[in-house]
């Protein structure tokens, strides 16, 4: 991975009208879906390789765009429900069509994305322009025929899963049985069947009888990639609970509890805030899971609960800036993390449009920047370094000059190839390794 990242180059970039709020490859990597703050879903398709330039992989072009969610108003609570897409999750492909789940704060929708390249012609009861014919003037019967037409991609909502969450949905995760999925909000996790929209099963409920006794909230949840009875959820206290649905219908008692003991010497006013976990992801193998807190990424072995097996510092140089980050609310930013297809490398975002990649085998890491100024098509990315004090070298950037408004919260890694997608506010970048 380290050798690859040093020759990453820009494959594609696109500017959105709204801030991108989620990025997700499908299981084959052929399609990449993005959701934005305006409730739109844009799907990009990987084009086939060019015969003239076989050393370069095909680009990603817009495949379909549709409005997934609209702004709503809860009249009972006098609350506006914004249309922003919080998460997108693809379902494994079963036929020619593709299916994905998208969610805003309250409502989850199952979308079918299908292609149509033929249309029926030669109707008996209507003209070619669609107007109905007088049945008394029909003197002969015709057999309609299918005629080729320009490719049209249709997105249609197949299921709407609503009215199950009192609080804002932060996670959805498709189960390995491909029949069920879970959705999580701040205090509850529900289990749904993809065919049933009018009811779900509440499997985790941490809401106390008295809300004044509330000490933590659920921040993320995910199903195990191979065991359909196992899932994990993380909390704002920096803990992760692994639950087994075979043990009880309500998983209020966890099977495993993952927590790293805090070093008393490093305790500060911000300790609890920066220990809150913003994302949790199982490895593809199912043996490990990765968590992202404000300053670091940790890899946990599911067989060892007392401490992570690997810890990677993402932007440790910000520890001295926590006070100003608290004042401008950046300390509450929720960064996501992702694995590469072989689980040998991990990636997560940072500020100043930086993103970090870590090689688990060599323990090498690299900082790269996604920006329109430095990224011309096919341009090679150069490693960036942050100067924490003292004399700054020529290629380094000072920690005081980092732009905290430019942040990469959402990233995705192709399930098979060294292709990554990075969302920098309203810009989407797709990078790949150059094959010499």
Segments making up each domain of the chain, as ranges = 8-433
**What is the pLDDT of the chain when averaged over all its residues?**
89
Cβ contact 25:34 at 8 Å = no
Long-range CB contact pairs, 374-382, < 8 A, 24+: 375/10, 375/13, 375/429, 376/10, 377/10, 377/13, 378/9, 378/10, 378/11, 378/56, 379/9, 379/10, 380/7, 380/8, 380/9, 380/434, 381/5, 381/8, 381/9, 381/10, 381/431
Mean pLDDT confidence for 166-178: 95
- pLDDT at residue 6 greater than cutoff 60: no
And the tokens for 356? 């970090």
Over 80: is that where the pLDDT of 33 sits? yes
Residue 52: pLDDT band with limits 50, 70, 90: low
Per-residue pLDDT band at 147 (split at 50, 70, 90): confident
Q: What SS3 class is residue 349?
A: strand
Structure tokens at 180: 């069920």
Look at residue 135 in the predicted model and tell me its pLDDT. Answer: 82
Q: Which residues lie across from 365 on neighbouring strands?
A: 358
The predicted pLDDT at position 436 comes to 41
**What pLDDT digit, counting tens, does each position of 390-435 carry?**
677 777 888 888 999 999 999 999 999 999 999 998 899 998 886 5
Regarding pTM above 0.85, the answer is yes
Cα–Cα distance, 302 to 282 (Å, whole number): 10
Find where tokens 């009811």 sit.
Answer: 199
pLDDT bucket at 2, cuts 50 / 70 / 90: very low
Lowest model confidence (mean pLDDT) among 56-65, 93-102, 194-203, 251-260 = 56-65
CA distance between the termini of the chain? 15
Mean pLDDT of 54-58: 56
Q: What is the dihedral of CA 194, 204, 347, 322, to 10 degrees?
A: 140
Phi, psi of 278 (to 5 degrees): -95, -20
DSSP annotation string for 284-336: TTSSEEEEE-SSEEEEEETT--SS-SEEEES-GGGGGGHHHHHHTTGGG----
> How far apart are alpha carbons 357 and 382 in whole angstroms?
13
Token pair of 349 as six digits: 């975002």
Please give the structure tokens belonging to residue 384. 């960036």
The CATH architecture one would assign to domain 8-433 is 7 Propeller (2.130)
The CB density around residue 416, as the number of other CB atoms within 10 Å, is 14
Q: What's the confidence (pLDDT) of residue 390?
A: 67
Neighbouring CB atoms inside 10 A of 159's CB total: 17
How far apart (Å, rounded) are the C-alpha atoms in residues 16 and 185? 27
Q: What percent of the chain has pLDDT over 90?
A: 67
Q: Report residue 381's pLDDT band, with 50, 70 and 90 as the boundaries.
A: confident
């Amino acid at each position: 991975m380290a050798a690859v990242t040093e020759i990453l180059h820009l494959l594609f970039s696109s500017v959105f009208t709204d801030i991108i709020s989620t990025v997700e490859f499908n299981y084959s990597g052929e399609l990449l879906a993005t959701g934005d703050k305006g409730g739109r879903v844009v799907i990009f398709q990987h084009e086939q390789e060019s015969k003239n330039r076989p050393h370069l992989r095909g680009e990603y072009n817009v495949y379909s765009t549709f409005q997934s969610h609209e702004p709503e108003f809860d009249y009972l609570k006098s609350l506006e429900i914004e249309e922003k897409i919080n998460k997108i999750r693809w379902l494994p492909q079963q036929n020619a069509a593709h299916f994905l789940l998208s969610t805003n704060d309250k409502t989850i929708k199952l979308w079918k994305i299908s292609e149509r390249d033929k249309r029926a012609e030669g109707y008996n009861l209507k003209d070619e322009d669609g107007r109905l014919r007088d049945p008394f003037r029909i003197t002969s019967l015709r057999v309609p025929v299918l005629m080729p037409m320009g490719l049209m991609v249709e997105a249609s909502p197949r299921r709407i899963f609503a009215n199950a969450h009192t609080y804002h949905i932060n996670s959805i995760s498709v189960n390995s049985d491909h029949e069920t999925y879970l959705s999580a909000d701040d205090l509850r996790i529900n289990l749904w069947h993809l065919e049933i929209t009018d009811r779900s099963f509440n499997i985790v409920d941490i809401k106390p009888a008295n809300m004044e006794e509330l000490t933590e909230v659920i921040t993320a949840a995910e199903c195990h990639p191979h065991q359909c009875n196992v899932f994990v959820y993380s909390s704002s206290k920096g803990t992760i609970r692994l639950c087994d649905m075979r043990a009880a219908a309500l998983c209020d008692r966890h099977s495993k509890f993952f927590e790293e003991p805090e070093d008393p010497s490093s305790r500060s006013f911000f300790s609890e805030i920066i220990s809150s976990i913003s994302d949790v992801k199982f490895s593809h193998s199912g043996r490990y899971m990765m968590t992202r807190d404000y300053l670091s990424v940790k890899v946990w072995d599911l067989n060892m609960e007392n401490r992570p097996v690997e810890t990677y510092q993402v932007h440790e140089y910000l520890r001295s800036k926590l006070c100003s980050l608290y004042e401008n609310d950046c300390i509450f930013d929720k960064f996501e993390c992702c694995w590469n297809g072989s689980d040998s490398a991990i990636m997560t975002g940072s500020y100043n449009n930086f993103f970090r990649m870590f090689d688990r085998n060599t323990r090498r890491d690299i900082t790269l920047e996604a920006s329109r100024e430095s990224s011309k098509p096919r341009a090679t990315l150069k490693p960036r370094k942050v100067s924490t004090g003292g004399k700054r070298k020529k290629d380094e950037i000072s920690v005081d000059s980092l732009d905290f408004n430019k942040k990469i919260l959402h990233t995705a890694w192709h399930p098979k190839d060294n292709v990554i997608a990075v969302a920098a506010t309203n810009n989407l970048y797709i990078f790949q390794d150059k094959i010499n």
